Structure 1
Amino acid sequence: MDWMAWTTPTAIFFVVIASLLIVFSALAIRFPETPRVGVLRIETTRGDRLFITLLGAAFINLAWLALSGMPQWGALIVCLAYAVAVFRWV
């Protein structure tokens, strides 16, 4: 895997994504989910909301890089607030 720069942040990113998938799979097995309708007026499950959160976080980070000269820690805080909002209201 010489083609990819395996740095510590890269490894942490993939470990976090894998951990989220494992946790959400275990939750789905242990506590079967029922879809709910939120602000978007579509039925979503925990997995759908996780996908929406990850996709939104990617766009937030890209916009942060393009429009701000500030450190990425600020984008992380915005992403966490976005995740809370998605899981609460979507």
Structure 2
Amino acid sequence: MGQLVEWGKAELTLLRPPPGSDRPLREHLEQIWKVTGERPKELADQPDCPTDLQYLWLWFWQLSRPFNFTELHHWSQLTRRNLRAWEAELLADLQRIWI
């Protein structure tokens, strides 16, 4: 489970625009890779999302942020997802990283 949080930290960093830009860091790095032919360290070091936890990443993007546990509970009822306590904690961890 800690793997998802670590991957999420790295992924969310790549999704944020660097200072002075409106494009995500990932786009800048991919352009550097395309021009130079060398993969930037930030992309090369990006861990893989744990396959068995990818659904939590998708759920995270379905939620409006910021959310609290009450909203998370209502979301899980509306979407008919059987949200377990550890899943709710991981979603909250990802939110803390995002904010």
- TM-score bin (small chain): under 0.3
**Greater strand percent: which structure?**
1
